[in-house]
């Protein structure tokens, strides 16, 4: 199967999985690359850090702190790095919050489209992590206008999916859209067990 996983939390990434193998992911040499996150900027022109250093008289360490801890949602809004706070501010027509949500969603959509093209198709889209599991609003906005990829979600199911495994697709949707809770501790435990067992067998 061709699957795109959207891990949307305070840290966020998208992964293309083709036949059970991860073939691409939005994070790069560091977690800074890719999506707009709670405090990280995500994709940008590589010259920007140099421009900031030169024009703002900032050190490399200061720019590092700026891009990793003071950018992303907190930098765009000045309100919070928590999507729940930004959604509430958006309901009050806060312009910065609305812009941050627009940028956030655009980046996610962009990667979904790119990875669908890279894999030559898509069978399932998976939402996970804090925002992905719990925000029907963000899931709804992200999947809006993606019908051309075969993504069609059921608004009622989407609204009901909070932190539980659930297929929120319309019955005739070509692509299944799933909400799957993250269980990082389980993955770490099973991988640790696999490595230990492999060493014992040597």
The DSSP annotation for 135-164 comes to: -HHHHHHHHTT-GGGTB-B-HHHHHH-SSS
* pLDDT > 70: percent of the chain: 100
**Which tokens hold the place of 45?**
């022109």
Query: Strand, helix or coil at 167?
Result: strand
User: How far from 4 is each of 99, 158, 176, CA to CA, in Å?
Assistant: 25, 18, 11
Contact criterion met (CB below 8 Å) for 131 and 142: no
Q: Give the range among 11-20, 59-68, 134-143, 154-163 with minimum mean pLDDT.
A: 154-163
> What is the predicted pLDDT for the residue at 60?
92
> What is the predicted pLDDT for the residue at 52?
94
With 0-12 CB in 10 A as exposed, 13-18 as middle and 19+ as buried, what is 54? exposed
Q: Provide the domain count of the chain.
A: 1
> What is the predicted pLDDT for the residue at 59?
93
Higher-pLDDT residue of 201, 136? 136
- pLDDT 10s digits, 120-170: 999 999 999 989 999 999 999 999 999 999 999 999 999 988 878 999 999
Q: What domain range is 172 assigned to? A: 2-200
> What is the predicted pLDDT for the residue at 183?
84
**Per-residue confidence band for 198, with pLDDT thresholds at 50, 70 and 90:** confident
Please check the confidence at residue 202 and state whether its pLDDT lies above 90.
no
Tell me the CATH number at 148: 3.30.420.40
**Which tokens hold the place of 191?**
């991988």
Region 57-63: what's the mean pLDDT? 93
**Per-residue confidence band for 53, with pLDDT thresholds at 50, 70 and 90:** very high
**Per-residue confidence band for 199, with pLDDT thresholds at 50, 70 and 90:** confident
Choose among 129, 125, 126, 124: nearest CA to 181: 129
- Alpha carbon distance 17, 200 (integer Å): 30
Region 40-69: what's the mean pLDDT? 94
Q: What's the 3-state SS for 40-91?
A: CCCCCCCCHHHHHHHHHCCCHHHHHHHHHHCCHHHHHHCCCCCHHHHHHHHH
Contact criterion met (CB below 8 Å) for 16 and 6: no
List all residues 6 or more positions away from 133 whose beta carbon is below 8 Å from its beta carbon: 127, 161, 162, 163, 179, 180, 181, 182
With 0.85 as the threshold, say if the pTM is over it.
Answer: yes
């Amino acid at each position: 199967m061709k699957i795109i996983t959207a891990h949307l939390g305070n840290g966020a990434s998208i992964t293309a999985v083709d036949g059970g193998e991860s073939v691409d992911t939005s994070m790069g040499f560091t977690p800074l690359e890719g999506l707009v996150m709670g405090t990280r900027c995500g994709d940008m022109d590589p010259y920007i850090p140099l421009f900031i250093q030169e024009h703002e008289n900032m050190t490399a360490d200061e720019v590092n702190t700026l891009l990793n801890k003071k950018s992303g949602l907190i930098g765009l809004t000045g309100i919070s790095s928590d999507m729940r706070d930004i959604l509430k501010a958006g309901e009050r027509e806060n312009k910065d919050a609305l812009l941050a949500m627009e940028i956030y969603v655009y980046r996610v959509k962009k990667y979904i489209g790119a990875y669908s093209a890279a894999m030559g198709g898509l069978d399932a889209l998976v939402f996970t992590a804090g925002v992905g599991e719990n925000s029907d609003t963000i899931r709804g906005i992200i999947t809006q206008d993606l019908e051309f990829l075969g993504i069609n979600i059921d608004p009622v199911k989407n609204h009901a999916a909070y932190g539980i495994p659930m297929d929120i697709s319309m019955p005739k949707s070509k692509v299944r859209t799933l909400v799957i809770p993250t269980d990082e501790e389980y993955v770490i435990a099973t991988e640790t067990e696999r490595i230990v067992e492999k060493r014992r067998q040597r």
